[in-house]
Amino acid sequence: MIGNFALARPTDSPVWRGILEARKIICDGSCTIIATGEDTNLWWQPWIPWMEYEEFRETMEMIRPKAPSLRCVADLMFRNNRTWNRRFLEFLFGYELGSLISTIQINSFAEKDMLIWKNSDSGMFSVKGAYLCSQRTRFAEKKELWKWLWDSKIHPRQSMMLWRAIAGALPSADKYGGSNSCVCPFCGSDSESPLHIFVRCALARAI
């Protein structure tokens, strides 16, 4: 068992295995934005944004013996002003983790806690977002550089050239020179590479 989630068994049907996998993906990708904390189950509903669900459940089960009567996230807060009870958090989770949890922003303007999808800019769940979450080990880490590059207002040809240079996809001599000289044919001072061609070459800098 993971929390109260049954693990797949060899005798399970493909449909049931898919349901179990989908449930894990949704738990890993979702998180609750705390407003009052009254609506969020402290032990089961994910509310610590940087933790995946299995880590979250293990952490909560670790602290449960210290305060088994707690019910909701609001029990970790000062209800009158909607702020974290930092000393209590440090008692439950330890100083380092408790201090870190106390930095989670509370939405003091909302009336109810809100469940969101962590990997979406809008916070809304989508099948595409769930698929990307389930396949994240297959894809490279998202880089803000790529977002800036493709969303910028420069000409698409320039965007493509920059992308090829950054990704190391240009046919420069350092990659495809073979047995021939890899020295820059313009300045002759260094090997020809995308970094040299666009940044360090004296002729390129002059142009």
For 102-128, what is the mean pLDDT?
88
Q: Is pLDDT larger for residue 91 or for residue 196?
A: 91
Q: Summarize pLDDT for 136-179 with one digit per residue, the tens.
A: 666 655 667 777 777 778 888 888 888 888 777 788 887 775 55
12 falls in which pLDDT band (50, 70, 90)? confident
pLDDT for 121 beyond 60: yes
Phi/psi of residue 84, each to 5°?
A: -70, 145
What are the distances in angstroms from CA 167 to CA 33, 142, 146, 195, 201?
37, 14, 10, 11, 19
pLDDT for 3 beyond 50: no
pLDDT for 1 beyond 50: no
pLDDT for 43 beyond 80: yes
What are the distances in angstroms from CA 172 to CA 27, 56, 157, 183?
46, 48, 18, 10
Q: Summarize pLDDT for 63-114 with one digit per residue, the tens.
A: 999 999 999 999 999 999 999 999 999 999 999 999 999 999 999 889 999 9
Query: Taking a C-beta distance cutoff of 8 angstroms, is the pair 165, 199 a contact?
Result: no
Q: Given this model, what pLDDT does residue 166 score?
A: 79
Q: Is pLDDT larger for residue 104 or for residue 126?
A: 104
Q: Given this model, what pLDDT does residue 95 score?
A: 94
Detail the DSSP E strand segments found in the chain. Answer: 30-33, 77-78, 83-84, 114-117
Separation between Cα atoms, residue 88 and residue 66, nearest integer Å: 11
pLDDT for 197 beyond 50: yes
pTM over 0.85: no
Q: Given this model, what pLDDT does residue 2 score?
A: 39
How do the domains of the chain map onto residue ranges? 14-135, 142-205
Provide DSSP, 43-75: TTS---TTS-HHHHHHHHHHHGGG-TT--BGGG
Mean pLDDT (the chain, rounded)? 84
